[in-house]
Homo-oligomer: A and B are copies of this chain.
Amino acid sequence: MSYENRQFLLAARPVGLPKASDWAYVKAPARMPEDGEVLLGVEYLSLDPAMRGWMNEGKSYIAPVKIGEVMRALGVGKVLESKAAGFSAGDYVSAGTGIQAYATLKAKELTKIDPTLAPLPVYLNVLGMTGMTAYFGLLEVGEPKAGETVVVSGAAGAVGATVGQLAKIKGCRVVGIAGGAEKCAFLVDELGFDAAVDYKAGDIRKPLKEACPNGIDVYFDNVGGEILDTCLALINLRARIVICGAISQYNNTTAVRGPANYLSLLVNRARMQGMVVFDYADRYGVAAREMAGWMAEGKLKGREDIVEGFENFPDTLLKLFTGENFGKLVLKVA
């Protein structure tokens, strides 16, 4: 039996938004597994803002994707052929599959998942890296206390939506910043946020101030730029700012905009701290079990934005940067 693979390789390092010519779409037979390996049929792929960073040259928290390599991505799929102990055809797993229809991977790269407990895309969202990022970023770096005010940007995105719900579970007042009335209504009506501020409706300073009558104790930043600056101006004494991402800056062709209000950290004895989810890998299991429990109780909901058409990967990825996607962006492969 042979499998014709389809892959997106990184063809060039993008300047600004990734464009069609930055990718190479190739078809070739999938490599059959050797001892200790499995062949995976990839069913869903996670599209994440962090991918933009992986396309750049230079030192970061993870090596850049090389030119000519399959684009790095997380995925879930089914084991089709196994030469690895502990894995059988039919098992479902999550792994760093890359943007391809089939992936030949070592057993140690795989995490078994149970598709009867939750639909596969959930393992890319709340029960996957996205959920882990929200969980450890908010709880370990943000350290929210009951009664405090937590603000999250990119709140209708995958990480942001989970951050806000976790902060509610912890007894905080939660304010989301998102783009558009529909997303804002979703945060309040569906996810139980206390308030939402629409950054597309104009300057957020006044509505954000009104939504945070007691100031901001924790700001979970996914976007950077002007929104980070506005939040800095509203923080309380000993506030914690979690730097999880800066999607407004990832496609800059000029310098990153630094937070001009950073001296608010001094005035307020506050801290701004970066986080990378991989540091918490030894505790993913504990977190996933706790998150699954909250999902079962109806306290934590995920929303996936599932896009069909593997061949449309380059355009689908751009939805992350235009503010168009709503929930966890997932590419359906089959």
Contact = CB atoms under 8 A, between A and B. Distances in A.
A262 B270 contact: no
Interface in A249-291: 249, 255-276, 279
Contacts of A261: 256, 258
A60 B267 CA distance: 6
- Which range contains the number of A residues in contact with the other chain? 20 to 34
A49 B262 CA distance: 18
Please give the count of copies of this chain that the complex contains. Answer: 2
A246 interface: yes
A324 to B, nearest CB: 24
Contacts of A270: 273-274
Given A271-B273, A274-B265, A260 B257 contact: yes
Contact of A266 (B265, B267, B275): B275
A245 B265 CA distance: 10
Given A229-B258, A262-B259, A274 B279 contact: no
A82 B61 CA distance: 63
A276 B238 CA distance: 11
Contact of A258 (B61, B259, B266, B279): B259
For the complex of A and B, the 10 pairs showing the least CB-CB separation, nearest first, are A258-B258, A266-B274, A265-B274, A271-B273, A258-B260, A258-B259, A243-B266, A272-B272, A256-B260, A61-B267
Interface of A: 59-61, 224, 229, 243-246, 249, 255-276, 279
